[in-house]
């Protein structure tokens, strides 16, 4: 083809393309510009959101780091608290064991104090049985103890059944053979302080001392032939008892009495119930006994009580009060059967 023609065609094509492209560009710009603007706006919004999210991310990152630090701190605190809890739990278990042991020790101590208090009370009763007349009966006037003077009693009475004659012989033998001596000092609990705890009587403290009184057994008094007025009465009671039981084989009811005089003095006696409204009084310390024609006897209770009261009135030491004790020979325990004036004692002999 002719080059000129070819150049012309190319020129025409270029011009056409340029004109067409411009037209296309114009048409496409008119169509896409609104969308582009909308996309720009959306892009700007998204960019703003991104920036906001970036800021939130940074803030959350800081918060996360703070929370992470707090978590680490809490983990440390948790571990510390766990260790403290474990230590407290161990301490609690140890304390529980200590409390249980303390409770056990407390109960053992309370039992020990109770036993100790009981032993002290028993010790006091034992000491009193050697130095307090009434409390000595369980040591001196039991069947076993009184039987120990049976041989001497039998030798005095020669197994005679003349009861009042022989009761008089026993009375005289004691008066003539027992040398009055002064008592020795004997240990005694002079004071004791107790308190009640959980229905248990606990001894708080006690004080020891001495009393110038020693109660002998009837056997000791008879064999040694010495003693004071209390020893004399115990020996007489025991010898009367074994005489009635083993020789006479007839038992009269005997009572040990404590007479109190207006001058403050006291001493023991024996009253024997010889029958209904019949009494015989043995008072070697005061020098009185019931007699008929100079021999040991019994009398009507009204008559004899009047005579007995008159006897002390004449001595200018009037009777104030009499306490009568009935004694169980099995174990020496005693009960008060009457207390008061001689008139108050009459019912015992009805």
Between these two residues, 201 and 27, which has the higher pLDDT value? Answer: 201
Tens-digit pLDDT profile for residues 79-132:
988 888 989 999 999 999 999 998 898 888 888 888 988 898 888 889 899 999
What is the C-alpha separation between 140 and 147, in angstroms, rounded? 11
Indicate if the pLDDT at residue 56 is higher than 90.
no
Q: Say if residue 3's pLDDT is above 60.
A: no
**Does any domain span residue 269?**
yes
Q: Is residue 138 part of a domain?
A: yes
The total number of structural domains in the chain stands at 1
Cα 114 off chain centre by: 6
In a domain, 343, yes or no: yes
Tell me which of 80 and 337 has the higher pLDDT. 337
The band of 45, judged by pLDDT with boundaries at 50, 70 and 90, is confident
pLDDT score recorded for residue 5: 55
Most confident segment among 147-161, 179-193, 204-218:
147-161
Mean pLDDT to the nearest integer, 259-272 = 97
CATH of the domain at 254: 3.10.620.30
Angle at 273 between CA 268 and CA 274, to 5 degrees: 130
319 within some domain: yes
More confident call, 4 vs 97: 97
pLDDT of residue 164: 96
In a domain? residue 20? no
Of 21-30, 60-69, 305-314, the range with the lowest mean pLDDT is 21-30
Residue 85 lies in a domain: no
Q: How far apart are CA 325 and CA 255, in angstroms?
A: 5
Give the pLDDT score at 251.
Answer: 96
Average pLDDT of the residues of the chain: 90
* Under 8 Å between Cβ of 281 and 269: yes
pLDDT at residue 1 greater than cutoff 70? no
Residue reference for tokens 């009837």: 218
Residues ≥6 apart with Cβ < 8 Å to 73 = none
* Cα–Cα separations (whole angstroms), residue 281 to 119, 260, 276, 317: 39, 15, 15, 18
pLDDT of residue 214: 93
Q: What is the pLDDT of residues 324-333, one digit of tens each?
A: 999 999 999 9
pLDDT of 198 over the 90 cut? no
Q: How far apart are CA 110 and CA 103, in angstroms?
A: 10
pLDDT of residue 19: 55
Residue 98 C-alpha from the chain's centroid = 23
How much is the pLDDT for 13?
A: 59
Phi-psi region of 188 (alpha: psi -120 to 50; beta: other; left: phi over 0): beta
Instruction: Tell me the per-residue pLDDT of 158-170, one tens digit each, with 9 for 90 and over.
Output: 999 999 999 999 9
Asked whether residue 157 carries a pLDDT value surpassing 60, the answer given is yes
208's CB contacts (< 8 A; 6+ apart) are 187, 188, 189, 190
Q: For the segment 208-264, what is each residue's pLDDT rounded down to a tens digit?
A: 999 989 999 999 999 999 999 999 999 999 999 999 999 999 999 999 999 999 999
Domain membership flag for residue 17: no
Q: What pLDDT band is residue 22 in, cutting at 50, 70 and 90?
A: low
Among 227, 230, 268, 259, which Cα is nearest to 129's? 230
Q: Is residue 170 domain-resident? A: yes
Q: Domain range holding 345?
A: 132-349
């Amino acid at each position: 083809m002719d080059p000129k023609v070819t150049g012309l065609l190319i020129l025409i094509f270029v011009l056409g393309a340029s004109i067409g492209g411009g037209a296309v560009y114009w048409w496409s710009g008119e169509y896409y510009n609104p969308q582009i603007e909308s996309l720009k706006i959306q892009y700007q919004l998204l960019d703003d959101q991104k920036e906001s999210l970036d800021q939130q991310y940074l803030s959350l990152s800081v918060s996360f780091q703070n929370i992470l630090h707090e978590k680490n701190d809490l983990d440390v605190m948790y571990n510390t608290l766990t260790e403290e809890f474990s230590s407290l739990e161990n301490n609690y278990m140890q304390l529980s064991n200590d409390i249980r042991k303390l409770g056990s020790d407390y109960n053992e101590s309370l039992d020990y104090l109770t036993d100790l208090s009981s032993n002290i009370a028993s010790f006091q009763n034992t000491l009193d049985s050697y130095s307090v007349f009434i409390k000595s009966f369980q040591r001196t006037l039991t069947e076993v103890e009184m039987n120990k003077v049976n041989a001497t009693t039998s030798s005095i009475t020669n197994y005679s059944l003349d009861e009042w004659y022989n009761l008089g012989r026993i009375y005289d033998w004691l008066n003539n053979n027992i040398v009055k001596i002064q008592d020795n000092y004997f240990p005694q609990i002079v004071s004791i302080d107790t308190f009640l705890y959980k229905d248990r009587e606990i001894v708080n403290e006690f004080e020891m001392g001495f009393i110038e009184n020693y109660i002998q057994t009837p056997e000791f008094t008879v064999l040694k032939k010495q003693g004071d007025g209390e020893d004399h009465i115990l020996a007489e009671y025991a010898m009367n008892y074994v005489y009635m039981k083993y020789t006479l084989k007839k038992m009269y009811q005997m009572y040990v009495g404590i007479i109190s005089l207006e001058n403050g003095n006291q001493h023991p006696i024996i009253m024997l119930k010889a029958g209904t409204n019949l009494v015989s009084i043995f008072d070697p310390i005061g020098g009185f006994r019931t007699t008929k024609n100079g021999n040991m006897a019994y009398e009507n209770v009204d008559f004899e009580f009047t005579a007995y009261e008159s006897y002390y009135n004449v001595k200018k030491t009037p009777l104030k009060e009499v306490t009568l004790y009935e004694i169980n020979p099995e174990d020496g325990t005693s009960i008060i059967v009457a207390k008061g004036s001689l008139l108050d004692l009459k019912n015992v002999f009805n």
